[in-house]
């Protein structure tokens, strides 16, 4: 598959300013701008506002994490509620306003001119121009880039301008396309409904994934298996791919997760392994598996092309610490999909079902994510902004089915 041109936006914070450099094959040179670094404290308020907007009806939703009080306490949010009759339209207005503010902050005149010139040239060649965001560190990767709105449209909702994040500067892992059978390993912990965790509908998610991949499974082009919910279960499964297959290609986690502000690390929640006799200090029930430990475990198999963390906060970070997703990409995993906000059960199930349908049809990864966003928005799910795609492949074609 031909490599699609990228409009690379390299973002380098330095003290109170931020250097933004744009590069693209359609440009004779690069375009650059120096902007004032957005206030982390102010953007944390904006992120909370977005989260409140996405989870507008706390009495009717279940989210894949233990949620804080969702009482709407923002004057702007209350004003939006008063002037709009629909929950969805109010949420979408906040998303649009956030995306416009983010766009205006980073797309100065020189950057915008370079982007529009590149976009027009790509369109004239009937090619996609995906926006690739490269970060020199945690820096500004915690911002909700998927909301970007140029005054006319959300970039992430168009297959002509999909948004891809890349933790490494301009890195492009040139992997040979994996041939069938594609191997998919899922993990669903058996965490019970408690005061700390809501019970989530992983049964429906598993059934939808199986349904989306059924034709490939029936044709022996894909193998889908599910691991147990403990770290030892996962290690055992990773060490033992399906018969005669050398590796696993996709790891899919469905459960609870988030970003630990005190530890400044992303995590997923798994079942705790039973401890040896005589060891009483180990935690029973559930276990917080931080991203550095998860990365080490996933390295048990060397062929993973895609990691999907379908849980809350897998792509949440801070101005000084990377999210779980970004850490995994920093460790060399070619592509990671994770969520930058708490996500409701319905949205998580719907996103994964649509994503796998498109992947099963040989759709490049970034286009599959974009199509899933489009269908979420068409079905009045404001959480279309929640999924984040980190991808180091230039064309997104990680598999051949």
At 297-333, the pLDDT tens digits run 999 988 899 999 999 889 988 877 889 999 998 888 9
Do residues 288 and 258 make contact, with C-beta atoms less than 8 angstroms apart? no
Domain segments of the chain: what residues? 182-391
Query: Looking at the DSSP assignment, which residues form a beta bridge with residue 335?
Result: 391
Residue 154 has pLDDT above 80, yes or no: yes
Q: How many CB atoms lie within 10 A of CB 241?
A: 18
CA proximity to 133, closest of 173, 96, 169:
169
pLDDT per residue as tens digits for the range 112-127: 999 999 999 999 998 8
Q: Model confidence at 109, in pLDDT bands (50, 70, 90)?
A: very high
Distance CA 243, CA 226 (A): 15
Residue 57 has pLDDT above 50, yes or no: no
User: What average pLDDT does the structure give for the chain?
Assistant: 84
For residue 395, the model assigns a pLDDT of 77
| Percentage of the chain modeled with pLDDT above 70 | 83
Report field, pTM of the whole predicted structure over 0.85: yes
Q: How many CB atoms lie within 10 A of CB 244?
A: 6
For residue 289, the model assigns a pLDDT of 94
Q: What value does the mean pLDDT take over residues 100-104?
A: 94
Distance CA 383, CA 209 (A): 19
Both structure tokens of 228 = 């147990």
Do residues 53 and 89 make contact, with C-beta atoms less than 8 angstroms apart? no
Q: How far is CA 16 from CA 35, 41, 108, 146, 187, in A?
A: 9, 13, 17, 24, 42
User: Which residues are CB-contacts of 44 (< 8 A; sequence separation ≥ 6)?
Assistant: none
Architecture per CATH, 182-391: 3-Layer(aba) Sandwich (3.40)
Torsion on CA atoms 300, 208, 385, 175, rounded to nearest 10: 40
Q: How far is CA 110 from CA 29, 94, 113, in A?
A: 12, 27, 5
């Amino acid at each position: 598959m031909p490599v699609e041109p990228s409009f690379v936006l390299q973002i380098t914070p330095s003290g109170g300013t931020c250097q933004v450099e744009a590069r693209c094959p359609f440009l004779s040179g690069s375009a650059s701008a120096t902007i004032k670094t957005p206030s982390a404290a102010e953007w944390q308020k904006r992120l909370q506002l977005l989260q409140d907007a996405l989870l507008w009806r706390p009495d009717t939703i279940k989210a894949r994490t233990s949620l804080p009080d969702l009482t709407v306490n923002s004057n702007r949010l209350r004003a939006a509620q008063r002037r709009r009759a629909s929950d969805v339209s109010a949420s979408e207005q906040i998303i649009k306003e956030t995306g416009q503010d983010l766009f205006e902050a980073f797309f100065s005149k020189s950057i915008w001119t370079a982007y529009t010139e590149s976009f027009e040239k790509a369109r004239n060649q009937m090619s996609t121009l995906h926006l690739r965001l490269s970060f020199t560190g945690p820096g500004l990767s915690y911002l909700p880039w998927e909301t970007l709105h140029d005054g006319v449209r959300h970039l992430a909702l168009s297959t002509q301008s999909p948004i891809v994040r890349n933790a490494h500067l301009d890195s492009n892992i040139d992997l040979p396309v994996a041939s069938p059978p594609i191997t998919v390993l899922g993990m669903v912990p058996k965490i019970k409904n408690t005061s700390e965790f809501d019970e989530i509908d992983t049964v429906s998610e598993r059934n939808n994934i199986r349904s989306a991949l059924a034709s490939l499974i029936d044709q022996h082009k894909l193998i889908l298996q599910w691991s147990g919910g403990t770290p030892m279960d996962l290690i055992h499964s990773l060490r033992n791919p399906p018969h005669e297959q050398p590796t696993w290609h996709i790891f899919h986690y469905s459960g609870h997760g988030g970003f630990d502000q005190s530890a400044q690390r992303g995590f997923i929640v798994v079942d705790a392994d039973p401890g040896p006799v005589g060891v009483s200090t180990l935690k029973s029930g559930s276990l917080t598996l931080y991203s550095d430990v998860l990365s080490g475990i996933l390295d048990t198999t060397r062929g993973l092309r895609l990691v999907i963390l379908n849980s809350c906060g897998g792509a949440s970070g801070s101005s000084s610490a990377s999210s779980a997703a970004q850490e995994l990409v920093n460790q060399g995993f070619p592509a990671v999909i994770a969520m930058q906000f708490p996500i409701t059960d319905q949205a998580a199930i719907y996103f994964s079902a649509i994503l796998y349908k498109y992947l099963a049809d040989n759709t490049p990864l970034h286009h599959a994510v974009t199509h899933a966003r489009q269908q979420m928005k068409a079905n009045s799910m404001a959480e279309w902004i929640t999924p984040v795609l980190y991808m180091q492949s230039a064309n997104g074609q990680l598999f051949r089915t």
